[in-house]
Chains A and B, each alone.
Chain A
């Protein structure tokens, strides 16, 4: 069993395998199931992700009315052909947003690694597939590769916003996505780890400050930026750029930052954007009272 990214990369490279192979093999061993069963379960998760993106791109609205419809706006903008950051990047962003808008509307999603960060991995996957034309199995492998990196973060740091801030959720998701993009694009296991490190470094210190305690503002837009961050970092790693700080040390830094983060900035709706005048106003409008008054 791999305990950190260094071991994961070493396992893959010494056996001339992909990160996804190592994750699949470990899953088979730990859960005592066949490879086919494990792949089939991931295929079901992939299906849920596809349906969520589809639903989000058709347009959803959350119960609070705070979020919804932005994925549609982005798709319409891409269609004008005037986008500055590029159609593929914006496609990833819009699909990440689509998933998270469905999540905010209490729709069915697959947590990757959490619900609040569920947009980044499928958003990037469904965008890069248009360029890389992966097989069904390669798409399933994308999820195992991202899962392998998320597995290390979950066991050595945290994937909970309440425990480690949004860096633990959208930050982890972005790093996972970046690594998986690299593998799908033909990069090496080391390059996957570099992409993960580069992404995560740029998400460090990200606070979890949901307005009105809802997984909507700023969560949906953070999934957008997480997807963009993953795409850029994946390209950097594929270009041969490495992270000066090794991936495992970045994960450790994230853990320590999470521990020193004040409670007000860890999913309590007591600080950050939740505590802005507009944040408090929205909260009062939705619930008829302010969470601040109760604390």
Chain B
């Protein structure tokens, strides 16, 4: 079941005109911002499929830029997102790609500043709901059937145990877990699907762990 809440159907409250092209895009942008953990100095946004064909009319570009600046789907500043980004001196590049992707509404976002870069691929599956399918070249294997969290961490011993201990203490059962890394000792990624809804306080506890660099809820 990809949709679990009635508010995925009756909602979100959002700035028009398109739930998948505007609200979904804003959410993909916001997810990128949360995973990057700070306001970037530049962003390159690539649109595929229906996104590439119709983003201007749907405000997909301004929505995704708004999301990158941490705006919610109903934030009226989305309409002026380009101007606001310019004032903040965030350099934005939009690319229309011809490549065919698995899902018609696909966006790839690269964010960066002097301290680092991040790349994420998100799809907008309808009604404002999104899925993240790739992060920094790691394919995310998510069923979409359960709440999921993403933990970016350093590849060292004890990291997985520390994260699973916090979840156990919070009475959250892990349904599936995928750990992948760029190279020994480098950045690594845990994709964890759980059975219970994850409260923000649990995310905060995970963020406090010394091995962990970033934590985000990617599906409710």
Bound complex: CA A236 to CA B205 (Å): 55
How far, in whole Å, are A105 and B59 apart by their CA atoms in the complex? 11
**Is B9 an interface position by the 8 A CB rule?**
yes
Inter-subunit contact A148/B6 (CB<8 Å): yes
Whether the pair A151, B9 counts as a contact (CB closer than 8 A) is yes
A269 lies within 8 A of B8 (CB): no
The distance in angstroms between the C-alpha atoms of A233 and B213, with both chains bound, is 54
Q: Once the chains are docked, how many angstroms separate the CA of A155 from the CA of B9? A: 10
Contact A150 B13 (CB under 8 A): no
Check B3–A111 contact: CB distance below 8 A. no
Docked Cα-Cα span, A45 to B58, in Å, equals: 22
Q: Is the CB of A155 within 8 A of B14?
A: no
B57 adjacent to chain A (CB < 8 Å)? yes
Asked if A3 is at the interface of the complex by the 8 Å CB criterion, the answer is: yes
Complex CA–CA separation, A116 to B20 (angstroms): 9
Interface membership of A23, Cβ < 8 A? yes
- Contact segment of A79-87, A211-219, A239-247: A211-219
Given contacts A111-B127, A111-B128, A115-B16, contact A30 B53 (CB under 8 A): no
Q: Which of A270-289 contact B (CB under 8 A)?
A: 270, 286-287
Residues of A35-52 contacting chain B, CB below 8 A: 41-42, 44-45, 48
A1 at the binding interface (Cβ < 8 Å): yes
Contact A42 B10 (CB under 8 A): yes
Stretch at the interface among A131-139, A160-168, A183-191, A194-202: A160-168
CB–CB A116/B10 < 8 A: no
Task: Return the chain B residue nearest A62 by Cβ.
Answer: B17
Which of B11, B49, B57, B76 lies in contact with A213, CB distance below 8 A? B57
Query: Does A268 belong to the interface (CB within 8 Å)?
Result: yes
CB closest residue in chain B, given A103 = B16
Between A and B, 16 residue pairs with Cβ closer than 8 Å are A27-B5, A31-B5, A41-B7, A45-B11, A45-B13, A106-B17, A109-B13, A113-B127, A143-B10, A147-B10, A154-B126, A213-B55, A214-B17, A215-B16, A267-B50, A268-B49
Given contacts A26-B6, A30-B197, 18 further A-B contacts (CB under 8 A): A30-B5, A111-B11, A113-B10, A115-B16, A115-B128, A121-B10, A144-B6, A154-B8, A154-B126, A155-B1, A155-B2, A160-B127, A162-B49, A212-B57, A213-B53, A213-B58, A214-B17, A267-B104
